[in-house]
Structure 1
């Protein structure tokens, strides 16, 4: 089972506006216990994507990049989204659910 959350840390916006390829300039971190594995990615713009998976699940860097790309396409490029506010986008929820089901 995979659960994901996206959080924005407005204090750490660092490299906003710099043209980067998807996943480029991102920091990846992971930690695990005997029951779960926690992986997270911090994008250059401060977006944090967190995955909690089974402890034996392999590396999740590519999965985190794909979820970040979904975020960029459905949230970040949406002119109606106000950065720093709670994400309420049915397109993002549906797309993320469909993507997770293809890998589960």
Structure 2
């Protein structure tokens, strides 16, 4: 993306961010559903009538968009938490297997 970011649609900016996240290995196949929803929300916010879409005031989509982007690691806050989430907590069984020298059978 070059130039003024406000000259670019939110859909295009979201697609660029998702592509960069895929290339960086941040997104996995398990994230594709959330990525699709993120793009649908971007389409809604690109509507020229937003936040009054189809005659109704939409005060939810922007917040959900930001929350989904954060969960996918597309925001600064999301990227700082992402390594902690990927590590996750190991269950008692995996710890016991590791201590016994077994790796998963």
TM-score, with normalisation over the residues of structure 1? 0.29
Q: Structure with the greater relative contact order (CA < 8 A, sep ≥ 6): 1 or 2?
A: 1
Greater share of residues in helix: 2
TM-score normalised per structure 2: 0.29
Is the radius of gyration larger for structure 1 or structure 2?
2
Instruction: Considering fraction of residues, name the structure with more strand.
Output: 1
